[in-house]
Chain A
């Protein structure tokens, strides 16, 4: 078995180690004897082809970089819509999450048009010092089990009008300052502000994505063998113990 992954704009949209998510997925697939091929697409590479891929990944970027990427990405709006409808999994972090919504108004008050595939929209806080920054703890049942997710958020953007969020916030901010919810999730699209990278301390989520992609591709039920996740468990528990036992919000 194998999975084909496309990483969008890796040289531009990669803040805070986001591309580590792909390294984690690849590690977890290889340990189970499954290959993962990573292709990249960036500005200047010619036309974007999405049809060959089981998973599409895009990370975060600064305002300047987002603007640059948005102009290119919007050319492929219909292709992206089609690929989402045909079931490819989209993992979108931070700036990428924002760009799949209606628009993003950056910290200098410039409006960047998003793909408008989803109804949410984002406005950045104009005070550059005022950002949602810190460790964050979430709770979600998208994997079928109720699990806690830990990560690190760092965004000025305040995202509104999310009809189906990824998770409930137990500690930290989420979609906006002191928000109840974090991210966007809809069967095969996961948009989130979580860095860390996201999958580094959340192996259950990584395996959920892997399982989805394999089942979608091979059209059969997949059982993943269990891996040695002792480091992940310790690291996650350290964060949970440090922050969750204090007050539940920042």
Chain B
């Protein structure tokens, strides 16, 4: 039966491609409709690496994919960011033979944190290494509270021995290591010039999971990310496998090795998780450094465009941290600039958009004008207005294409932040304008 499903779906993919259509998540959706245990059918001859966490999954997965590929490994990955059930099934179907066998060295799967227990409970899909980047508030209505998610993952991991690569500076992530029967690897960053003793951002997970008392922070990098420990128990007292001792200009120093990138602090954490991974699988350091150094986003996450001689920077913002990081970067950019924010409340964005009130909008005066767009543009306008930004410089245009046309009409640097459902549309629209103007 599964075999028939597979042949049927492969035929559909083939036909869609024939008509020049992108298959996307449709094959996976169909396959799961026909059999919601279709996961169990695949046979993976290779190691499964899973990347999860709230922010940075797609970028990290793409870098790992490029590094392994350049290292002459046969690697399959869902680099397009289709990270929930049907997206992953689509990737598997696209890459297996008619018997459901996938032959590769590595299968790298970015996976939505909520889907991990559902997908990897099958024996044939056993994770070899799980990278956990961070946990922030994200799309809470679809997910229930963050705490519920962590408990769910913890419950899954405790009977699931695998390598865990954990962000040692995120207490929510570090918790997952407590009950893991496999090996834990930790990465983190030393106190930097930009580190703070207090965090103004909205906090998560400030309570020790063992003792239920507030954690003590030595320093914060951003939000709840930083060096912490429990005043009472061992929680937080870890030995790092990869630790960035200092960051100077564009160089990240890790003991005797340094890596060059143009990173936001945000992305340095992603990079450290990859360096940790390279230790487990003996990945060539030169290749790794080269990919990290030259990595350019093409998926709308920090992607740059040049339109009418102005740079346009597109960023995904699906939770407060995503925005706060962009605003911190933009604050250092002293040039005149304008901002477009697109907020939708479609199913893959989450219906609840109240998290926009957790964004720190006190740093945005350097933007001459802010255009609010998307299905919840007015909510956004209220939010920005109440942060005391001049109401006369707020423009509401629900349609994102019209909003982009309005934005690129003036002569200065542009920032665009979009939540999930519009990101690809905007990226493709900007790519088309960029091509046309060349």
- Chain A positions within 8 Å of B, measured between CB atoms, are 11-12, 14-20, 23-24, 27, 30, 43-44, 62-65, 67-68, 107, 128-129, 131, 133-135, 152, 154, 195-197, 200-201, 228, 231-232, 234-235, 238
> Taking the nearest CB of chain B, how far is it from the CB of A152, in angstroms?
5
Nearest B-chain residue to A131, judged by Cβ: B144
Q: Complex Cα distance A232/B379, Å?
A: 7
> Taking the nearest CB of chain A, how far is it from the CB of B147, in angstroms?
4
> Taking the nearest CB of chain A, how far is it from the CB of B141, in angstroms?
5
Q: Complex Cα distance A71/B380, Å?
A: 36
* A17→B357 contact, CB < 8 A: yes
Instruction: Convert B378-397 into 0s and 1s, putting 1 for each residue whose CB lies closer than 8 angstroms to a CB of A.
Output: 11011101111001001010
5 nearest A-B residue pairs (beta carbon)? A17-B357, A20-B357, A235-B378, A17-B354, A62-B147
Instruction: Convert B206-221 into 0s and 1s, putting 1 for each residue whose CB lies closer than 8 angstroms to a CB of A.
Output: 1100001010000000
Interface residues of B in 360-383 (CB under 8 A from A): 375-376, 378-379, 381-383
Nearest B-chain residue to A43, judged by Cβ: B214
Interface residues of B in 263-300 (CB under 8 A from A): none
Name the residue in A67, A128, A129 with the highest tally of chain B Cβ atoms < 10 Å from its Cβ: A128
> Taking the nearest CB of chain B, how far is it from the CB of A39, in angstroms?
17
Could you jot down 19 A-B contacts, CB within 8 Å? Answer: A15-B140, A16-B354, A16-B355, A17-B354, A17-B358, A20-B354, A20-B358, A27-B388, A62-B147, A64-B207, A65-B147, A133-B352, A134-B141, A152-B141, A152-B354, A197-B357, A200-B379, A231-B396, A234-B396
* A231→B352 contact, CB < 8 A: no
A17-B379 in contact given A63-B147, A65-B207, A234-B396 (Cβ < 8 Å):
no
Question: What is the total number of residues of chain B having a CB less than 8 Å from a CB of chain A?
Answer: 34
> Taking the nearest CB of chain A, how far is it from the CB of B379, in angstroms?
5
Q: Complex Cα distance A65/B150, Å?
A: 14
Q: Complex Cα distance A24/B375, Å?
A: 22
Does B145 have its Cβ within 8 Å of any Cβ on chain A?
Answer: yes
> Taking the nearest CB of chain A, how far is it from the CB of B351, in angstroms?
6
Q: Complex Cα distance A107/B355, Å?
A: 24
* B212→A231 contact, CB < 8 A: no
* Chain B residues near A12 (CB-CB < 8 A): 206
* Chain B residues near A133 (CB-CB < 8 A): 141, 351-352
Q: Complex Cα distance A68/B211, Å?
A: 11
* B354→A195 contact, CB < 8 A: yes
* Chain B residues near A195 (CB-CB < 8 A): 352, 354
Q: Pick the contact of B352 from A16, A64, A128, A234 — CB < 8 Å?
A: A16
* B382→A235 contact, CB < 8 A: yes
> Taking the nearest CB of chain A, how far is it from the CB of B340, in angstroms?
17
Q: Pick the contact of A14 from B144, B202, B386, B387 — CB < 8 Å?
A: B202
* B146→A134 contact, CB < 8 A: no
Q: Pick the contact of B387 from A23, A67, A197, A200 — CB < 8 Å?
A: A23
Does B356 have its Cβ within 8 Å of any Cβ on chain A?
Answer: yes
Nearest A-chain residue to B387, judged by Cβ: A23
Name the residue in A18, A30, A62, A196 with the highest tally of chain B Cβ atoms < 10 Å from its Cβ: A62
* A231→B214 contact, CB < 8 A: no
Does B203 have its Cβ within 8 Å of any Cβ on chain A?
Answer: yes
* Chain A residues near B358 (CB-CB < 8 A): 17, 20
* Chain A residues near B214 (CB-CB < 8 A): 43-44
Does B148 have its Cβ within 8 Å of any Cβ on chain A?
Answer: yes
> Taking the nearest CB of chain A, how far is it from the CB of B322, in angstroms?
15
Q: Complex Cα distance A128/B385, Å?
A: 36
Name the residue in A17, A68, A134, A135 with the highest tally of chain B Cβ atoms < 10 Å from its Cβ: A17
* A17→B355 contact, CB < 8 A: yes
* B382→A154 contact, CB < 8 A: no
Nearest B-chain residue to A242, judged by Cβ: B375
* Chain A residues near B375 (CB-CB < 8 A): 238
Given contacts A195-B354, A234-B378, A238-B375, 20 further A-B contacts (CB under 8 A): A15-B140, A16-B140, A18-B354, A20-B358, A27-B385, A27-B388, A62-B145, A64-B207, A65-B147, A68-B207, A133-B141, A133-B352, A196-B354, A200-B354, A200-B379, A200-B383, A201-B382, A231-B378, A231-B385, A234-B396
* Chain A residues near B379 (CB-CB < 8 A): 200-201, 235
Name the residue in B378, B387, B396 with the highest tally of chain A Cβ atoms < 10 Å from its Cβ: B378
Q: Complex Cα distance A65/B206, Å?
A: 10
> Taking the nearest CB of chain A, how far is it from the CB of B405, in angstroms?
21
* Chain A residues near B140 (CB-CB < 8 A): 15-16, 154
* Chain A residues near B141 (CB-CB < 8 A): 133-134, 152, 154
* B352→A20 contact, CB < 8 A: no
Q: Complex Cα distance A135/B381, Å?
A: 19
A231-B382 in contact given A133-B141, A134-B141, A197-B357 (Cβ < 8 Å):
yes
* Chain A residues near B207 (CB-CB < 8 A): 64-65, 68
Q: Pick the contact of B383 from A20, A152, A228 — CB < 8 Å?
A: A20
Q: Complex Cα distance A196/B345, Å?
A: 13
* Chain A residues near B212 (CB-CB < 8 A): 64, 67-68
Nearest B-chain residue to A200, judged by Cβ: B382
Instruction: Convert B338-354 into 0s and 1s, putting 1 for each residue whose CB lies closer than 8 angstroms to a CB of A.
Output: 00000000000001101
* Chain A residues near B386 (CB-CB < 8 A): 20, 23-24, 27, 200
* B352→A152 contact, CB < 8 A: yes
* Chain B residues near A200 (CB-CB < 8 A): 354, 357, 379, 382-383, 386
Q: Complex Cα distance A68/B385, Å?
A: 34
> Taking the nearest CB of chain B, how far is it from the CB of A135, in angstroms?
7
Q: Pick the contact of B148 from A14, A128, A152, A228 — CB < 8 Å?
A: A128
* Chain B residues near A43 (CB-CB < 8 A): 214
* Chain B residues near A67 (CB-CB < 8 A): 212
> Taking the nearest CB of chain A, how far is it from the CB of B120, in angstroms?
19
* A17→B144 contact, CB < 8 A: no
Nearest B-chain residue to A156, judged by Cβ: B144
* Chain A residues near B145 (CB-CB < 8 A): 15, 62-63
